[in-house]
Structure 1
């Protein structure tokens, strides 16, 4: 029989040791501390077989969150599948900004465009109960994941299927609109390492700015007076996004916020 310690040692020959622990903890349904305190325990054959499959998937390049089926975001576990992007810590910068911008103890309506797993919309709804949150996505499969996350985490979010604003009624208006759109340039080398994630949620197949431009153009029809529009974008896209805002002459207070690593991450503007 193979012990926990032996299984981890074997897996660590092929994958990162921390990831080896995450995967084994997932297979056992325990936390990583359990692995330390029970390292001499023998693994049942069924668990060892499952673990071997998980390690093989990781060796092939599949991200750990897809193998385990969950990813933590803002301290909460979100279900993820290959139909949605894996939530990343950088996106918490966008959440932090919105929470600060809506911290005046008044009700606000908010729209999350391209919600994916729903991590932004659901987190905002849970962190600020005064927010009335709606979310759209073009992918029916992504919305299935988002709705399940909302149910599991007990978040009140209204979901709509469609391309950006097409999912909404023409009279729908919001105080805040946010989006983490596909912004990666088609030639960006990072795309090669993201082959398991939905390509349409990563890049527009062009310069990474076309969806941002579309949202900036159409957002005024769905924003209340002096409403906010905020995007997550690439570390090198801040000036380009600011220029897109400035070109329409409909926006004011255009600014960019850095993430925890000091990179430009979120650009915001207020409808004039």
Structure 2
């Protein structure tokens, strides 16, 4: 009981965390806990569960402890090298799929793919899409490759590139990105799961806008006429992002709220 109270102090979903850790120890789905509530752990399973629970109480993200995270309809391998996929990013995937509606064999570019979450989620819905996903880290890209191969979404190509630097000259109907957008001085960097995530995936200079501005500036060189740029950003950056898009020459600029009601994604069309 004391440990459960400790867990409530650091997790918004303590009961779910406990259930996920239990299922991991007994190698069963969560439905098993409801079907067999009288099941008891053996000594080794109990020892493993207590050790994992202590790690969670210490603040380590549940995704890092389990080595995986569900995103969209996919189960992705994760590691401390990458950003943990968030449910709010599914809003970006939803918008991306809507933007591709009616287009045959669209070409899509995902910048800073990390685990591959965005690219693979789009690929799972559009088997005809030609998708290129990039990351600056070869080690991170190998994790995305592992996820791609496990999910058998082989129409996703992976390239090691810092933003656009190593991308061969070509044009896309859609460019998507969830780049670093947190101000280096933001106090949230010392709270919650982000303490355990790589700062390179979280932090950008110029108040969190540097990478967003760079992508907006260069993206037109890689977009077809009528192509769209779709970006995730901070909860308080939508107005700035829309302004940057318009200044660069994008039209039909707009934003959408996430599941928490914050303007989290913005986009524009290149003419």
Instruction: State the TM-score, normalizing by the size of structure 1.
Output: 0.92
2:206 is equivalent to residue 214 of structure 1? no
- Deviation of the 1:13 alpha carbon: 4.1
The alignment status of 1:32 with 2:41, answered yes or no, reads no
Matches of 1:105 and 1:271 in 2, distance apart?
Answer: 16
| Secondary structure at the counterpart of residue 49 of structure 2 | helix
Q: Give the Cα separation in 2 of the matches to 1:141 and 1:47.
A: 32
Does residue 12 (structure 1) correspond to residue 9 (structure 2)? The answer is: no
Deviates most, 204-213 or 38-47: 38-47
Residue 10 and residue 152 in structure 1: after superposition, are their counterparts in 2 closer, same or farther (change >3 A)? farther
Match of 2:10 in 1: none
Distance 1:78 1:11 in 2: 28
1:17-74 Cα distance to aligned partner (Å, 9 max, x none) = 3211111111111122322443433322221222122111111110101101111111
Q: What are the Cα deviations for residues 155-205 of structure 1, in whole angstroms up to 9, with x where unaligned?
A: 121000020001211x22211100000011122222112110111101114
Q: 2:179 & 2:21 partners in 1: Cα distance?
A: 30
Distance 2:48 2:195 in 1: 23
Structure 2 unaligned segments of length 5 or more: list them: 8-13
1:66 maps to 64
Q: Equivalences for 1:104-123 in 2 at 5 Å?
A: 104-123=102-121
Q: Secondary structure at the residue paired with 1:141?
A: helix
Q: Secondary structure at the match of 1:133?
A: strand
In structure 1, the residue matched to 2:250 is: 251
Q: Supply the distance in 1 between the matched residues of 2:130 and 2:183 (Cα, whole angstroms).
A: 33
Q: CA contact under 8 A between 1:69 and 1:81: conserved in structure 2?
A: yes
Alpha carbons 1:115, 1:137 under 8 Å: kept? yes
Kept after mapping to 2: 8 A contact 1:11/1:17: no
What is the TM-score with the length of structure 2 in the denominator? Answer: 0.92
2:180 paired residue number: 182
1:159 partnered with 2:189: no
In 2, the alpha carbon distance for the partners of 1:28 and 1:173 equals: 48
Deviation at 1:206, TM superposition (A): 4.1
Contact 2:172 2:222 in 1 (8 A): yes
Alpha-carbon shift at residue 243 of structure 1 (Å): 1.2
Structure 1 distance, partners of 2:57, 2:4, is 11
Residues paired across the two proteins, number: 262
2: CA distance between counterparts of 1:136 and 1:199?
A: 18
The match for 1:51 is 49
Residue matched to 2:223 = 223
